Amino acid sequence: MPDKLALPSEDFRAMAAAAVDFLAAYFDGLRTMPVVVPTTSRAIRERIDEPLPLHGADFMVLMDTVRDVFSQYSRHSAHPRMFGYVASPGTAVTAVSHMLAAAMNINVTAWRSAPSAADLERLTIDWLKQMLGYPPEAGGLLLSGGSMANFAGLAVARTAKAGAEVVREGVAAARRRMCVYVSAESHYSVAKAAGMLGLGEANVREVKTDDSLHMDLADLERLVDAGRAAGHLPLCVVANAGTTATGAFDPLSEVADFARRNDLWMHVDAAYGGFAALAPSARHLFAGIEQADSIALDPHKWLYAPVGCGCVLYKDPAAARAAFAHGADYTRTIGLKDDEAFAFWDYGPELTRPFRALDLWMLIKFVGTERLGQAIEENIACAKYFAELVKRSDDFEMLAPVELSVFCFRHVPKGFSGDLDAYNEKLLVKVQCAGSTYLSNARVGGKFALRGCVLNYRTTKEDMAQVLEDVREAASSL
């Protein structure tokens, strides 16, 4: 029997071929399979629970479980009508690159540990900067996702505005409350980061929004002035480049001007919307982003990369180093200098880091930014087309403008006089269980909304029309 750790090459080829055959069939069948099959945790555990294995199993048996359990009872992000949350479909090329990265298992801590992988990450960061029009001298690194990128941005803001002593002595060294200002539409990860950093969730000030759900600059000014009058330290303003709930885009140039006048760090949460910069119709929204001190991005959202690939950019890399650099003798660089002495741990929270850049490099090189931009443009067009369908209907209404590819709406049956929020909440569950279309939810202007986000290069305008039919079908059973 072959050693299953040091596997012979012919056995590895057979395993890989079986996995590729499964994935090819999976891609081919996406449009005809349900987005999700209703089940329970107990039902799944009954299929997979067993004592700790002492002896290895046959690989083809494992593939049967992948097909019959893990694939069968997953919510398929690659499905063209998977509109819940902000779910990337992934790509065939990154399925291959992910396998390559896992096999090489490179730990990208520093240049000396992973020379080519470190340089490749720095190259892909340069490409992401170019997509946004961010200054060439800026720096950054890849992280697990947008939440960690927001955490990193706020950590650097804290050090830059409150002083390096807060890293050594704690936030009490600032001797006053440090306040972060966010739109009422901002992602909850900002408040969570403030709690983890010791700033305190209670010191995250929520700024009102206008009718288009953009940050209200007058209310921002009122809150900052009130903070200063109370003896607090206004630290950072977080602008949104595409909110999670509605896709709203704050006026970045105006926020940048305000931040500069008031000595605030400007962080932009572009985790969802950042790569819309590749779409000609959305490019104008990014005016002013080059002035941001830090930016959170998620290539695993609208750049279609595999989950686990976020990014933070810093306009001044030295500010990041002041927040994160930490020395230990076992990490001391010996015999290297300049670029070869570079360490990612000096610019972010992680030490051990996977080879995330291989997915990005292979995706961008294989597909090209022209096609990526076209796919993003098509996603935006689908969402706007959906809004037009709703406006032409007599039983639906939009609850927020479509700025990028998020659409928020609700069903309003003719003659209905009951609680529309409760009705649409029940309707959402019916739609999700039916399996043809998957929507999530949001609250817009106090109203319960059926929410979708187009983030799939397979999605067509016919799919958008199908959403309304699927909702009507679910409504007929209520």
Claim to verify: residue 355 and residue 377 sit in the same structural domain? no
Q: Where does the pLDDT of residue 88 fall: very low under 50, low under 70, confident under 90, or very high at 90 and above? A: very high
Q: Which residue has the tokens 């909304």?
A: 449
Residue 412 lies in a domain: yes
The answer to whether 121 touches 357, Cβ cutoff 8 Å, is yes
**Among residues 333, 367, 401, which one ends one of the domains?**
367
CA–CA–CA angle 42, 440, 415 (5° rounding): 115
Average pLDDT of the residues in 173-182: 93
Model confidence over 103-119: pLDDT tens digits? 999 999 999 999 999 99
What is the CATH classification number for the domain harbouring 290? 3.40.640.10
If asked whether residues 392 and 334 sit together in one domain, one would say no
316 and 200 within one domain: yes
Cα distance between residue 362 and residue 356, in whole Å:
11
Instruction: Give the pLDDT confidence score for residue 175 in this predicted structure.
Output: 86
Q: Among 343, 367, 391, where does a domain finish?
A: 367
The answer to whether the Cα torsion of 152, 155, 156, 161 is positive or negative is positive
62 domain residue, yes or no: yes
Confidence label for 469 from pLDDT (cuts 50, 70 and 90) = very high
* pLDDT at position 174: 83
Do 61 and 180 fall within a single domain? no
Cα-based torsion angle of the residue sequence 379, 384, 390, 391 in order, rounded to the nearest 10 degrees: -170
Give the chain's domain count. 3
Strand 204-207 relative to strand 233-240: parallel, antiparallel, unpaired?
Answer: unpaired
CA distances (Å), origin 6, targets 10, 98, 228: 12, 20, 64
- Note whether 425 and 297 are same-domain residues: no
Residue 373 shares a structural domain with residue 430: yes
**Statement to judge: residues 355 and 387 lie in one domain:** no
Query: Is residue 92 in some structural domain?
Result: no
The three-state secondary structure class of 46 is: helix
- Three-state SS at 465: helix
Give the domain range for residue 27: 12-79
Q: The dihedral of CA 57, 63, 65, 66: what is its sign?
A: positive
Residues 361 and 387 in one domain: no
Task: Express each pLDDT in 226-264 by its tens digit.
Answer: 999 999 999 999 999 999 999 999 999 999 999 999 999
Q: What is the CATH number of the domain that holds 23?
A: 1.20.1340
Residue bearing tokens 């992280």: 143
Q: For residue 398, what is the DSSP state?
A: E
Does residue 195 sit in the same domain as residue 338? yes
Picking from 226, 296, 220, 283, the residue whose alpha carbon sits closest to that of residue 257 is 220
Nearest to 102 by CA among 347, 273, 406, 306: 306
389 forms bridges with which residues in the sheet?
none
Does residue 172 register a pLDDT over 90?
no
> pTM of the predicted model, to two decimals?
0.97
Task: Look at the block and give the residue holding tokens 């926020």.
Answer: 255
Q: Which two tokens stand for residue 246?
A: 């509605």
Asked if residue 2 is part of any domain, the answer here is no
pLDDT band at 294 (very low <50, low <70, confident <90, very high): very high
Q: Has residue 87 been placed in a domain?
A: no
Considering the domain architecture, whether residues 356 and 460 belong to the same structural domain is answered as: no
Same structural domain for residues 211 and 350? yes
In a domain, 163, yes or no: yes
We report the CATH number of the domain holding residue 449 as: 3.90.1150.170
Average pLDDT in the 170-198 region? Answer: 94
Could you say which of 319, 348, 367 is where a domain stops?
A: 367
Q: Is residue 158 part of a domain?
A: yes
Q: Are residues 388 and 445 in the same domain?
A: yes
